[in-house]
């Protein structure tokens, strides 16, 4: 397969495979659920990593999902992983990378559902950092996703414009896709979000404003959950959540299991 694939846990290597999905041939890691060979089409979670990472980065997340009866499709962002372009991994290119992934996502999901034999009506979407930005931007347009989970990200892009990742010079492009400016297109689905208040890369206040704006539009504001850590010990208090990493992954597993109707083997 590949060096990164060969370094994944044996349970994923036995069941998973690499693929190129959609007309843009987006690199993906596809993992069918464990012990579901004769069951009805399973739910599926599409996961998008953050900047400078790759789809193979987080096998602990994928193991939890597959053992709970969920198929997994993890994809490489533009310029990352199998389609690496080092320049596109620099913070100043985040906006372009995010917008390209948003445009590719529907074709990727369609192809992954076919490849994994998943239920198209029970698909969850999630991402970390830049992958979370893709998730929130995509959910502001018509879609069929059942639930979503994001980590260390923001739906308030304007609040990041003082940082290189979303330069003020990109104001027009930011405004065109900034989730907080397009909530009229948001459909009321369960959303789970995690953030560290001390995050040095993605401003907590901006994401907090987005979550509050979103909750104000929900008939049931409790369908939007926002778990906040003061400090985690993660580098730059950003991705991974340090000593809370396992806790976040487990909460996410339970969230998707509940909202996608998964019936797996993991207690």
What b/e string do you get for 118-139 counting C-beta neighbours within 10 Å, with b at 16 or more?
bbeebbbbbbbbbbbbbbbbbb
266 located within any domain: no
Q: Could you read off the pLDDT of 109-142 as tens digits, one per residue?
A: 999 999 999 999 999 999 999 999 999 999 999 9
Place of tokens 């979370």: 132
Number of domains in the chain: 1
Q: Could you read off the pLDDT of 51-89 as tens digits, one per residue?
A: 999 999 999 999 999 999 999 999 999 999 999 999 999
Query: What pTM did the predictor assign?
Result: 0.95
| CATH (domain of 253) | 3.40.50.1820
What residue numbers bound the domain in which 155 lies? 3-260
What per-residue confidence (pLDDT) applies to 170? 75
Please write down the HEC assignment for all residues of the chain: CCHHHHCCCHHHHHHCEEEEECCCCEEEEEECCCCCCCCCCCCEEEEECCCCCCCCCCHHHHHHHHHCCCEEEEECCCECHHHECHHHHCHHHHHHHHHHHHHHHHHHHHHHHHHHCCCCCCEEEEEECHHHHHHHHHCCCCCCCCEEEEECCCCCHHHHCCCHHHCHHHHHHHHHHCHHHCHHHCCCCCEEEEEECCCCCCCHHHHHHHHHHHHCCCCCHHHEEEEEECCCCCHHHCCCCHHHHHHHHHHHHHHHHHHHCCCCCCC
What is the C-alpha end-to-end distance of the chain, expressed in Å? 31
User: What whole-number percentage of the chain has pLDDT above 90?
Assistant: 85
CA-to-CA distance for 177 and 157, rounded, in angstroms? 9
Q: Could you read off the pLDDT of 71-80 as tens digits, one per residue?
A: 999 999 999 9
């Amino acid at each position: 397969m590949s060096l990164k694939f060969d370094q994944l846990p044996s349970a994923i290597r036995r069941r998973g495979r690499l693929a190129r999905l959609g007309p843009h041939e987006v690199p993906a890691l596809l993992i069918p659920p464990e012990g579901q060979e004769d069951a009805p089409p399973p739910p599926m979670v599409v996961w998008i990593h953050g900047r400078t990472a790759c789809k193979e980065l987080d096998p602990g997340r994928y193991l939890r999902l597959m053992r709970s009866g969920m198929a997994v499709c993890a994809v490489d962002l533009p310029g990352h992983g199998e389609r690496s372009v080092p320049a596109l991994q620099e913070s100043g290119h985040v906006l372009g990378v995010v917008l390209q992934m948003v445009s590719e996502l529907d074709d990727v999901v369609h192809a992954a559902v076919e490849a994994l034999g998943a239920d198209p009506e029970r698909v969850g979407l999630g991402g970390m950092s830049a992958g979370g930005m893709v998730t929130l931007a995509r959910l502001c347009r018509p879609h069929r996703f059942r639930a979503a989970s994001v980590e260390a990200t923001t739906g308030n892009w304007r609040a990041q414009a003082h940082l290189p990742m979303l330069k003020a010079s990109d104001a027009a492009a930011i405004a065109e896709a900034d989730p907080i400016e397009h909530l009229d297109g948001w459909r009321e689905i369960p959303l789970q979000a995690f953030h560290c208040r001390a995050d040095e890369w993605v401003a907590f206040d901006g994401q907090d404003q987005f979550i509050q704006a979103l909750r104000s539009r929900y008939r049931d504001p409790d369908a939007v959950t926002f778990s906040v850590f003061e400090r985690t010990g993660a580098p730059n208090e950003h991705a991974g959540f340090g000593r809370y990493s396992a806790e976040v992954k487990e909460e996410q597993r339970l969230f998707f299991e509940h909202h996608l109707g998964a019936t797996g083997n993991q207690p």
